[in-house]
Structure 1
Amino acid sequence: MKLTERLEVRIELQEKVKHEFSLKPEESELSKLFLLNTGNILLLDEGQHNIWSSNTASNAPLELYLKDDGNLVLRELQGTTILWQSYDFPTNTLLPNQPLTRYIKLVSSRSQSNHSSGFYKLLFDDDNVIRLDYHGDVLSTYWPPHWLLSSEAGRFNYNSSRIAMLDSFGKFFSSDNYSFSTYDYGMIMQRRLTIDSDGNIRVYSRKNWSENWYVSWQVISDTCIIHGLCGENSSCSYDSKKGKKCSCLPGYKVTNDSDWSYGCKPMFDFTCNRNNIFKCYTKLHLMNGRYSPSLIGEIYLRLPKVGGLECVCFFVFLFINKKSSEDKHSHHHALGFRRYSYSELKLATKNFSNEIGRGGGGVVYRATLSDQRHAAVKRLYEAKQGEREFLAEVSIIGRLNHMNLIEMWGYCVEGKHKLLVYEYMENGSLAETLSSKTNILDWSKRYDIALGTSRVLAYLHEECLEWILHCDIKPQNILLDSNFQPKLADFGLSKLKNRNNLNNNSEFSMIRGTRGYMAPEWILNLPITSKVDVYSYGVVLLEMITGKSSTMMNIEGDDGEVAYNGRLITWVREKKRSTTFWVEEIMDPSMLNNCDLIKMEILARVALDCVEEDRDIRPSMSQVVEMLQSRDRELE
């Protein structure tokens, strides 16, 4: 079929083969396609509104030609110049011998009746591997499985040609070594490969136009593997005879009876009790819950007890790799984070040129992601210790949710390269701000930082089902957002311990932490408990109060000579013991004229309680929160 000059054609969307002009249901009726003498193709709806354009231009005589293979081509009548072809712009479907390349991705429809863009994409990633992504509330890859390396999934990543194609006989092959043959392979038939609205890839076949399409191949048999099908706060179960079944978690009800992708909503109030605000930071959503008898794992959710404020626990099975206890790579892949390629992060960090921090676990760089978000990318050292820290941070952060915890957006693990992608904190770390000569923290900000940090530590120690120690609390690991609210970061040294085995130090194979902030238990080989974080927190408080370093200090007297050289804790204790106005003498001079001395003394006393040599005398972090909040309310 040829269209020359300015001819008008009705587009009948009866077939499911669609190209770049993917229309909403209300736009498909009476839509018209125009070829202008300027060389541009226009698609107009009934009201003559421009829905789509090829954005091409030419003064030469042109033709719009529909080839027998289904490719719609705009070309010059004289010569071989092709200005535009629909094969370069598929939406959800590939025809036989139509290539999928590095520049092309298939995007599913929203539903069988709504042909606007949906949640699923088929594309080649920067590792040269063809994959399926879910783009819903979170970004995640569900095929090939997260926990498998490319080689373990039977894929090659050294072939950079990035091309995949379905041939006329029903054979699909990809440059990454993935291939399959349809059930009716060998017969020349009408075929199409489609990413359906449920996120699955299917090949449809039929002998001629008068017959209905039938499924001759399906990439994923257990559809519960596909992310987002049942929505949030639900679980998916699969039966080979009955197919998938979505069900809400106990305490939840379905949000939309006609569309499970909306998930389930709670039948209880999520509102926090403001008197116990540090207990209110549990996760609000369960994503991609899955039940399968062959896979072992459980997750605990807290729900309000009927008629009261107490919580009860239940568990549901979810998708965890069966070998998770054996395979160190498997336990962190189903967390819902974005998995970045090394080349993506290399580009985002401008070849790792903008360093903003450095620690024992790695170097942190500022980055601008492809969606223009600013991020902090932590590049772990290549040593064995760096790999352990990587696994620790990814697994731990995936279980946590608190307003004073740094948010992790994604990760990268490619051979020797291991990186973490975090939200970027505009005001850097507490250490940088305390040492700054221009950006001085006033009293109210310091008090808020102290309170926010105590809340998140109380959450880690007492509100999680497992006992989580940070093990490296220091100003460098307390980041500040645009409002100077604290965000605890760097879980590379963190440790999860069984609450029933708190006195077993065998889980700690080496001393952890930073000089000046480490509790005596580390040196004396005493049992390690949450009180080690309490001690480090107390040291940080003293630094915020005094503006001085925790280690060896040179403190000048009135005559300008060095009056004291020693540890910060010892100096503060001596001031308290020998001077009536000890708080005024230890506090940062920049705060003398604009601070609340009563609250400052409360903060200083709490700090000294936290750094007691005897761990049994130190308060718990929840007690610290109560002391700071109750005094705050009394003074208000």
Structure 2
Amino acid sequence: MANREVPVNGRRSTLSLLDSGNLVLTDAGDAGGEVWSSGTSSTSAAELHLSDTGNLFLTNGSVLWQSFDSPTDTLLPQQPLTRNTFLISARSQYNYSTGFYKLYFDNDNVLRLLFDGPSVSGAYWPFPWLQSDHFDRFLYNSSRIAVLDPLGRFQSSDNYSFYTSDYGVAATQRRMTLDFDGNLRVYSRELGSIVWAVTWEVLSTPCFIHGVCGNNSLCSYDPTKGRSCSCVPGYVPKVPGDWSAGCVPDFTFSDGCVADEIRFVKLQYVDFYGYDYNVIYNTSLAKCRQTCLNLCNCRGFQYRASGSGRMSDCYPKIELLNGHNLSSFPGEFFVKVPKNKTFTVDQLVKSTQYTCPPTPEVKVLDRTYSKKLKNGPLNFMLWFACVMGGIEMVVVFLVWFFLIKNQQDVTSAHQSHLNATTGFKRFTYKELKKATRNFSKEIGRGAGGIVYKAVLPDDRVVAVKVLSNATTGEADFLAEASTIGRVNHINLIGMWGYCAEGKHRLLVYEFMERGSLAQNLSSPELHWKRRFDIAVGTAKGLAYLHEECLEWILHCDVKPQNILLDSDYQPKVADFGLSKLMDRGKVRNSTFSRIRGTRGYMAPDWVSNLPITSKVDVYSYGIVMLEMMTGISPTTSVDSLGSRGDANKIQLVPWARNKKTGSHLEEMVHPALRGDYNLKQMEVLIEVALKCVEEDKNARPNMSQVVEMLLRQENDS
């Protein structure tokens, strides 16, 4: 878009190709004159062409200028994003001037999204709290180029790639746009249609986008109502209707920093990212409060549990930015306000606020109509007969319509919506039967069903799981598949599609070249670094399910067979949604109607008649880690292991505790490692695993704490 900040007059402005070979845009407004030019010249005749790819280019035999070199907020298929180009969003839905969001290649060769606001800036994707070697990007390819192809595949030189939900459909127009709300989306539409549908988006959690609600405000997200903004208690909107301007306090302190006039109000489920004055580790709430009290420019403080879970860390804030409601946040926020300021419970706990316009008053018109005298009884009988006949016709028509047409229409509409919103497609049973060669190559089997290798028509290799006990109706199955499809994490298996046809229920997943962890436990290829990476990656995937998903998801069957490995032995947790698919609606007050899981990996919570929480997955994770490090199955008695065991039948967990207490860690190491391992990492991993398998679920850490403990050791090493 030329002259983006002050667009030219749309009626009488001109775009001219001069004899000199210069392309010039002239404004017809009051100012008039040249507002943009290509800055080109040519001694031979130049021509301007618009190609079928959408590229507008000036040529005299060679390209002098082309629009593909100057994107605004959109990339078209085959249009490269390079080290010298970037996308910048519009200011708002109807204001196309320069906005606050930018897609670009950073100096470390990574493709990033940046919020560049009026006063602060910061990258928000990939998530800034992740270190560069933890979000699966390649940092050493300095070519810096990314392209969306016509079929819907995006690939970047930093090893980031994805497929749109309609990948492979050739007769479709596509565009990738950095929208004014900071989310990067791919839109598709069929030829001849005027409707653009979202077929991919980079962030399914819009409140993680920086700056969406401005300073001193909170972002809340409801899947049914979308994103909303609200001010922190004690603050009011700075510019009504423009949340990017943020909020300002509606109070003042008489002397700025008088302790007697200040108090702190606790906000539940609130997190503010960044802009800390400092970080004080392992401190008390009283000391944290006093630190903020002593700082005149401290607006409030975050107090959250540290990795150990015994103490908490303090984050005094000099700015309240990037705030959002997060029900899984393991901490509290305290905002500084005057002592005489009061608030309602709704202001402190309410996760979202919606303001509806007042309903306009309805004015009843006073109208009278003249009536003719008629035969009353005869008129009544005629009207009664007409009404009854009409009712019969309507009933017959509605029965036919709903039985014959309605189910098909509703299903079709639901499928279209599901494809657009979840990023995967619906397959027919015939398509998957052909792709699996009549379900001939089995690659896995479990209580949930059998997994087959398949090749789709576009040559993509996938895994197709045929669910064996999915007794839910089609509508319930599609609702649960939608939930699983929205889950997006590097350490969770990606779902590409599904089939719900008659009694058949199938799920289509990405194919993992190395199979499951169970198949590789004794492989010499699984050296120590890979085993430690598997421990960290699996913990990250489970932490995402437990604490970051829009819906609460427990895995309920964590075991080596459900941890899959890609070509680089990076882990992806599989089958994390099948407990929901199998028995939808059987969760009552955090308890399950039946025991789930696999013998040996199941937490004692299942038989204790206590509420089932995410700690059952933590226990199973601990068992898997012990098995991966020792090579001992939780169902194998140690006396069968020769020199590694004792004469009595001691099971895995007591045996591991005994070896650790006696400082005999070297006797626990898997023989496949041949003594080649990092002792400090081994000690930490054993300690973490044993914490995870505590009998008392309250003594177990949560998965985010597990991740933090492992990453701290990895960084120290």
2:209 alignment counterpart: 303
The reply on whether 1:432 has 2:519 as its aligned counterpart is yes
Partner Cα separation in structure 1 for residue 134 and residue 547 of structure 2: 9
CA shift, 1:287, in A, is 6.0
The reply on whether 1:444 has 2:529 as its aligned counterpart is yes
Q: How does 1:254-403 map to 2 (within 5 A)?
A: 269=123, 270-274=125-129, 285=184, 300-305=206-211, 312-315=218-221, 332-333=418-419, 334-381=421-468, 383-384=470-471, 391=478, 394-403=481-490
Provide the secondary structure at the position in 1 that maps to 2:422. coil
Q: How does 1:148-159 map to 2 (within 5 A)?
A: none
CA shift, 1:445, in A, is 0.8
Contact residue 88 and residue 102 of structure 2 kept, 8 A? no
Contact residue 115 and residue 211 of structure 2 kept, 8 A? no
Provide the secondary structure at the position in 2 that maps to 1:304. coil
Q: How does 1:78-477 map to 2 (within 5 A)?
A: 269=123, 270-274=125-129, 285=184, 300-305=206-211, 312-315=218-221, 332-333=418-419, 334-381=421-468, 383-384=470-471, 391=478, 394-434=481-521, 436=522, 440-477=525-562
1:521 alignment counterpart: 605
- Which one-letter code corresponds to 1:580 in the other structure? S
CA shift, 1:524, in A, is 0.9
Contact residue 464 and residue 508 of structure 2 kept, 8 A? yes
1:620 alignment counterpart: 702
CA shift, 1:419, in A, is 1.2
Cα offsets for 1:248-279 (capped at 9, x unmatched): 9x965999xxxxxxxx9976632433557899
Q: Per the alignment, do residues 299 and 311 of structure 1 end up closer, same or farther by CA in structure 2, a change over 3 Å counting?
A: same
Contact residue 299 and residue 316 of structure 1 kept, 8 A? no
1:190 alignment counterpart: none
Structure 1: which 5+ runs fail to align?
1-108, 115-135, 138-230, 238-244, 256-263, 292-297, 497-501
Provide the secondary structure at the position in 2 that maps to 1:428. coil
Contact residue 89 and residue 100 of structure 2 kept, 8 A? no
Provide the secondary structure at the position in 2 that maps to 1:398. helix
Structure 2: which 5+ runs fail to align?
1-51, 58-75, 78-86, 105-112, 117-121, 137-181, 189-194, 197-203, 227-406, 582-586
Q: Per the alignment, do residues 518 and 389 of structure 1 end up closer, same or farther by CA in structure 2, a change over 3 Å counting?
A: farther
Q: Per the alignment, do residues 336 and 389 of structure 1 end up closer, same or farther by CA in structure 2, a change over 3 Å counting?
A: same
Q: Per the alignment, do residues 480 and 386 of structure 1 end up closer, same or farther by CA in structure 2, a change over 3 Å counting?
A: farther
- Which one-letter code corresponds to 1:595 in the other structure? Y
Q: Per the alignment, do residues 465 and 412 of structure 1 end up closer, same or farther by CA in structure 2, a change over 3 Å counting?
A: closer
User: What's the RMSD between the two structures over aligned residues?
Assistant: 4.8
Provide the secondary structure at the position in 2 that maps to 1:595. coil
- Which one-letter code corresponds to 1:395 in the other structure? S
Alignment identity in percent?
A: 49
Q: Per the alignment, do residues 607 and 284 of structure 1 end up closer, same or farther by CA in structure 2, a change over 3 Å counting?
A: farther
CA shift, 1:572, in A, is 1.2
2:596 alignment counterpart: 512
Partner Cα separation in structure 1 for residue 529 and residue 205 of structure 2: 39
Q: Per the alignment, do residues 318 and 272 of structure 1 end up closer, same or farther by CA in structure 2, a change over 3 Å counting?
A: same
CA shift, 1:525, in A, is 1.9
Contact residue 479 and residue 489 of structure 1 kept, 8 A? yes
Contact residue 473 and residue 533 of structure 1 kept, 8 A? yes
Cα offsets for 1:489-517 (capped at 9, x unmatched): 11244459xxxxx99225x2222222211
2:677 alignment counterpart: 595
Contact residue 484 and residue 577 of structure 2 kept, 8 A? no
CA shift, 1:444, in A, is 1.0
CA shift, 1:594, in A, is 0.7
Partner Cα separation in structure 1 for residue 669 and residue 414 of structure 2: 48
Partner Cα separation in structure 2 for residue 462 and residue 384 of structure 1: 28
Contact residue 375 and residue 423 of structure 1 kept, 8 A? yes
More helix by share: 2
Q: Per the alignment, do residues 610 and 112 of structure 1 end up closer, same or farther by CA in structure 2, a change over 3 Å counting?
A: closer
Provide the secondary structure at the position in 1 that maps to 2:619. helix
**TM-score (normalizing by structure 2):** 0.45
Partner Cα separation in structure 2 for residue 402 and residue 615 of structure 1: 26
Cα offsets for 1:419-461 (capped at 9, x unmatched): 1111111100001111x5x554211110010011111222222
* Range 331-340 or range 474-483, more displaced: 331-340
1:531 alignment counterpart: 615
Contact residue 564 and residue 571 of structure 2 kept, 8 A? yes
Partner Cα separation in structure 2 for residue 538 and residue 560 of structure 1: 20
Q: Per the alignment, do residues 277 and 318 of structure 1 end up closer, same or farther by CA in structure 2, a change over 3 Å counting?
A: farther
Partner Cα separation in structure 2 for residue 586 and residue 424 of structure 1: 33
Contact residue 233 and residue 285 of structure 1 kept, 8 A? no
Cα offsets for 1:49-89 (capped at 9, x unmatched): xxxxxxxxxxxxxxxxxxxxxxxxxxxxxxxxxxxxxxxxx
- Which one-letter code corresponds to 2:219 in the other structure? C
Partner Cα separation in structure 2 for residue 522 and residue 317 of structure 1: 31
Cα offsets for 1:233-255 (capped at 9, x unmatched): 99x99xxxxxxx9999x965999
Partner Cα separation in structure 1 for residue 490 and residue 426 of structure 2: 23
1:6 alignment counterpart: none
Contact residue 302 and residue 312 of structure 1 kept, 8 A? no
Partner Cα separation in structure 2 for residue 531 and residue 368 of structure 1: 38
Partner Cα separation in structure 1 for residue 503 and residue 95 of structure 2: 39
The reply on whether 1:580 has 2:580 as its aligned counterpart is no
**TM-score (normalizing by structure 1):** 0.51
Provide the secondary structure at the position in 2 that maps to 1:565. coil
Which residue of 572, 582, 587 corresponds with 1:487? 572
- Which one-letter code corresponds to 2:208 in the other structure? R
Partner Cα separation in structure 2 for residue 629 and residue 384 of structure 1: 41
Partner Cα separation in structure 1 for residue 596 and residue 552 of structure 2: 17
